[in-house]
Chains A and B, each alone.
Chain A
Amino acid sequence: MEIIRQTVDPQVTGGDQSPDDFRIRQLRARDMLRGDLPDSELEQYVQERVITTTVDRATAWAQSNSLFPLTFGLACCAIEMMSIVGGRLDIARFGFEAFRASPRQADLLILSGRISIKMAPIIRRIYDQMLDPKWTIAMGACSSSMGVFNNYAVVPADKFLPVAVHVPGCPPRPEALMHGILQLRDQIEGKAPAGSRERYHAQGTEEVIGSDPGVVDAVNVFGAGDVTNA
């Protein structure tokens, strides 16, 4: 959605907007309010002054530019999350600075760290307490893929929550988290994702997935009772 503000102040714009033009506009506005404008001019008048959009897009625009994150940190990533509200990055520029202390008032859950299996039900409960519409960002390697803690105690966030955006890194730089939030904003507004390939004109560089199923994988999962590598 685009908002074009037209200024009618002749002092500011100068040039072709003489005081006479201003007077003419005023008179046309008066005619319009009285209903005296002929159809053709009314059409032009409306086109100059009114933006049309759908209610969905208008609400999406409002929602996406005022996400309230929940005040909620899980591990080391939370330190990076805190710094996005500071003066250096200042997420308030985009309207996301109001960290709410209650899930009832928040609509963005940033999973900033590793989630242990004991914490997972609590996080699910917090998520359920948030009011719709709500979104989740999985920040860091731990909450996306368990990262360096790929063991018995940690679960990835996708197992029990719908996650809108994954921010990779260990920890991700605050700029990366901010980029993630802006991606989420675009998602909410329904814009097509501007991925890094489009950004850097790198189409055609996709990794080709090997068709050989015998490729050795580096998965560090031991079968139960297998202690040779434990």
Chain B
Amino acid sequence: MPDADGLEMLAQRIRDLRADAVIEVTHNHGQAMIEVAPDANREALVVLSEQGYSFLSSLHGVDYYPDEPRLGVHYQLLDMDRVDRVGVKLRVTLDDPAVASVVDLFPTADHHEREVYDMFGVVFEGHPDLRRILMPEDYQGHPQRRDFPTGGEPVIFTYNEPQTPGWTQ
């Protein structure tokens, strides 16, 4: 994890490329995190991978309900020489959940982005094959959003049997 100065220097390099790209730098729970503008993720990842953080170890989605903007995408980058990690995150709204895909920079993002699309409904523009990966293809909705009903079925025990008469049919 880069220390505060190191993280600020990394953020400065991203700002050099695009002045309004970085929104915030934080250290939280032992994690260095750079929050970038939703349309600046590719620039940020390119700059960081030039600095040695060249391995995308994870890409995942978050739902910040009830905060706005609700959806988030986190990228975890790893420098394999120094064994050092840094995170990049961005947030998009439910109405316009479009994020540029990074599959051409990091091929590993392919399935990860499909999963985030499947579970959270973030649309990755430029992804070569953006389909559902875990849920059936005709599934409605994005189940990991926090306003999605948990679902499931009532289980019949003897104590609640009277409430569901005729369940044996």
State the A residues within 8 Å of B (CB).
117-118, 145-146, 150-154, 156, 207, 209-213, 215, 217-227, 230
Contact = CB atoms under 8 A, between A and B. Distances in A.
A117 B140 CA distance: 13
B128 interface: no
A156 B136 contact: no
Interface string B124-165: 000000000011100100010011111111110011111100
B138 to A, nearest CB: 10
Contacts of B162: 209-213, 215
25 contacts: A117-B139, A118-B134, A118-B135, A118-B136, A145-B155, A150-B155, A151-B151, A152-B152, A153-B135, A153-B151, A156-B153, A209-B158, A210-B159, A213-B162, A213-B163, A215-B162, A217-B163, A218-B160, A219-B155, A220-B150, A221-B154, A225-B149, A230-B146, A230-B148, A230-B149
Interface residue SS majority, chain B: loop
Contacts of A209: 158-159, 161-162
A153 B148 CA distance: 12
Interface residue SS majority, chain A: loop
A225 B135 CA distance: 20
B160 A152 contact: no
Contact of A151 (B134, B146, B152, B161): B152
Contact of A230 (B147, B153, B155, B163): B147
Contacts of B159: 209-210, 215, 217
Contact of A220 (B143, B152, B163): B152
A225 B149 CA distance: 7
Contacts of A219: 154-155, 160
Contacts of B146: 227, 230
A150 B152 contact: yes
